Chain A
């Protein structure tokens, strides 16, 4: 059983640029959630995808967008990067059925630095 894989592991971007982060779900999982974790803080919910549809969104602006693919992998896109977007971006996969969802498996994250 493979875990959650995120790429790249580290990334440096310039303010105003766009970035795409990628996540491969754990085998058998059909739901992907994305979190932003600033240094010294707990993860903050960005959004969740289930069956390729957005299934919930946190307090993040529209320049944060995502996709889920038929194989349940996912992308997080951030446009017009700001310095405050510098953080660890975590992907978590889980299995959801009949409205019930099991616990998350997190990837190791992508460390994004905006300069």
Chain B
């Protein structure tokens, strides 16, 4: 069964303290891996799509990387406004109409 697991469940950092969020996946055939940001009471906001191992994408303080088994979302010198839940999701070739989400990492940045 296709599965996405995110860790840690929650992470509290001091402003400026860099860290990484992990997304491990077990799928029959990866068609794409997505990162979304979700603020409380809002829908997920698209951040990145990664397609193949070794691929990297950056946006401001965020960088996403992909291997054959996991993806990392690196946060460099975070600010309080980066506080949110970060969701990882995959689309597979066997079930291309749906995206399978992990449970997310709740990130809190203290000033």
Contacts and interface: CB of A to CB of B under 8 A. Distances in A.
Q: Which of B41, B49, B95 has the most CB of A within 10 A?
A: B41
Contact residues of A: prevailing secondary structure: strand
Contact residues of B: prevailing secondary structure: loop
B89 A42 contact: yes
B87 A56 contact: no
B50 to A, nearest CB: 12
A56 B96 CA distance: 8
A24 interface: no
A-B interface, 8 closest residue pairs, ranked by CB to CB distance from nearest = A56-B97, A106-B43, A42-B101, A45-B98, A48-B97, A42-B103, A43-B101, A106-B44
A4 B43 contact: yes
B98 A40 contact: no
A21 to B, nearest CB: 13
